[in-house]
Amino acid sequence: MTTIDTHPDSAVAADEPSASGQVLAHAASLVTSSDHKRIGRLFLYLSLLLGTGLIGLGAALGFDRIQTDETFINVNALGQLFSLWRVGLVFMLAIPCMLGVAISVVPLQIGARSLAFPRLAALGLWTWLTGSGIVIVSYLQNGGPGGGKESAVDLFLAGLGLTVIGLLCAAISLATTVLTSRAPGMTLERVPAFAWSALVTAASLILVLPVLLAALIYLFADHRFGARTAIDVNGWGGNEIYPWIRTALSGTSTLVWALPVLGFVAEVVPTFARRRNILRAGVLLGVGIVATASLTGVTQVSHGIGPWSALSGGDRFKDMVDYAFFTLLPVVGLLAVMGAVTLTLLVGLKARTLRLEAPLLFGLGAVAILTLGIAAHLLEPIADLQLSGTVYEEGVFFAIVYSVVIAALGSISYWGPKMRGRRIPKIPQMLLALGATGAAALVVVPNLIAGFNNQPGLFGVRNASELVEGWTNEAAPEFLNVLTSVGHVLMALTILGFLALAVQAFVTGKFVGDDPWDGQTLEWATSSPPPVNNFVELPIVSSAEPLADLKSAGSDA
């Protein structure tokens, strides 16, 4: 006992903090904490709450879109609301959401006692949150793409830059943890599937985000101090921002956000099939191949096939090579992961060891929506199909975003009992998993159909007349826009319903053991909730399923 320690028995009742003091103390501990579990949970829950608001905004925009002969939202506000919706779903929901899951779980999976650079991850959290708040405020001040107020456009660029810096800090901490803090015997070949996908995602973000940040710095300097060769604020002038950030918001590079979806489904299927991953090498290789999509964000160039009749033989070959590398290759990676997961699932079915649990439903739903989006993306870069600039692009975008959301909810379902010691009720979760998958399908499929029907999208319009033309075009039947709007509403309600159910269960639910799913990886070997340093004692890792090895050795003994 040191001189600054106080024995609890000697504490005086009069010195106990008041209720308000306890609240302030708890808030201070959250803000200053370097515990990866707290940092990750804050990333996850804050992004889901921000995302729910943005999805609600999307539903409102969608309902306004139903009337193809008029718009009820002011045209000037319409462009800004759409850009807030699109930018926010990427940088306030999709990327931070899965980063939060990874920061919470990955150190436990690899046997690390903490994050590498935990203060950097905490800095990333609060920088991201501050930047997100500034971005929202900039829109309220008539800024952002489409904004008419010069200082508010500056504010948008600065806020988005801070948001990117925060995400980059978190990605650096996460990647360094997987590379340097693994348990004895855990080589990279033995890293769990989700931890591997988190490493590849973080490495991809470390490649992509600095390029985007450099573009934002250039735009800010050019607009505020320079000759405004890149941005000219004149009524709708903020729309010149779009070409500089477009590759981060659409196209092949968006697949990078969804890599943890593949890792999650490759994690839960072997657990509930009660079988080791049969083609584990295929999972690791497939995730790495999908990550080639990040090169689109690095090069800041969209790679597609131009009008076939207008191309020479050499140009056709060049376009086909670009298309094969940047568009087809990620699909090959997806097929490798799906093949390995499906084989493990079928073996579990044949052996009658497969258990149908809510996390499995979330995982299968997420990967189904992701597969739909990636398959649809194969057609988007083909110029002769004339899908670019239509709502088809929105369908692909939301397939990827909503697959991430579904996987994030599944992650709470799967790892929540480990983090909180209590389990969420099974049947309500399963209904919510089906609801989330159905809501995503209601958003994605009608947009894809409407895109083939040439309904214009709104991404990157440059003036009010283009905006009205895109919003009031009668090419797509109104009922498709109705379905899309209903899908957004259902997704927002599903997220809120799941979070309410999770909070109730984690506060008042039934206690479960340290290993409620009969898991195979190290996170299930520690207590629930885990101690501050994660593990009291670490076993020597000799395979990719160390806990399964321990259980097998115990049963043999």
pLDDT of residue 235: 37
Give the mean pLDDT of 432-450: 95
22-36, 147-161, 300-314, 394-408: least confidently modelled range: 300-314
pLDDT, tens only, 339-363:
999 999 999 999 989 999 999 999 9
pLDDT at residue number 371:
93
Bridge partners, residue 382, by sequence: 305
Give the pair of three-digit tokens for residue 64: 């306004």
Among candidate residues 267, 254, 259, 408, the one with its CA nearest the CA of residue 340? 267
Tell whether the model's pLDDT for residue 308 goes beyond 90: no
Residues 185-212 have pLDDT tens digits of 999 999 999 999 999 999 999 999 999 9
- Please state, in angstroms and as integers, the Cα–Cα distance from residue 521 to each residue in 307, 524, 527, following that order: 50, 6, 13
The domain 34-534 having CATH identifier 1.20.210.10: the answer here is yes
* pTM of the predicted model as reported, rounded to 2 decimal places: 0.90
What is the structure's pLDDT at 381?
A: 84
pLDDT of residue 232: 52
Is 44 within 8 Å of 408 (Cβ atoms)? Answer: yes
Of residues 306 and 543, more confidently modeled = 543
Mean pLDDT of the chain: 85
Neighbouring C-alpha atoms within 13 Å toward the C-beta of 397: 26
Domain map of the chain by residue range?
34-534
Average pLDDT over every residue of 124-135: 97
Q: What is the pLDDT of residues 470-507, one digit of tens each?
A: 545 555 567 888 899 999 999 999 999 999 999 999 99
pLDDT recorded at residue 231: 55
Q: Residues 110, 176: contact at Cβ < 8 Å?
A: no
Query: Mean per-residue pLDDT for 168-176?
Result: 97
Would you state the pLDDT for residue 13?
Answer: 43
Asked whether the predicted pLDDT for residue 510 surpasses 60, the reply is yes
Instruction: Name the pLDDT band for 72 (thresholds 50, 70, 90).
Output: confident
Is 170 or 152 the better-scoring residue by pLDDT? 170
pLDDT score recorded for residue 8: 39
How far is the CA of 330 from the CAs of 325, 334, 336, 387, in angstroms?
A: 8, 6, 10, 20
Q: Which residues contact 312 (CB under 8 A, 6 or more apart)?
A: none
What residue spans of 114-258 are helical by DSSP H?
Answer: 118-140, 150-180, 193-224, 242-249
CB-based contact 320:260 (threshold 8 Å): no
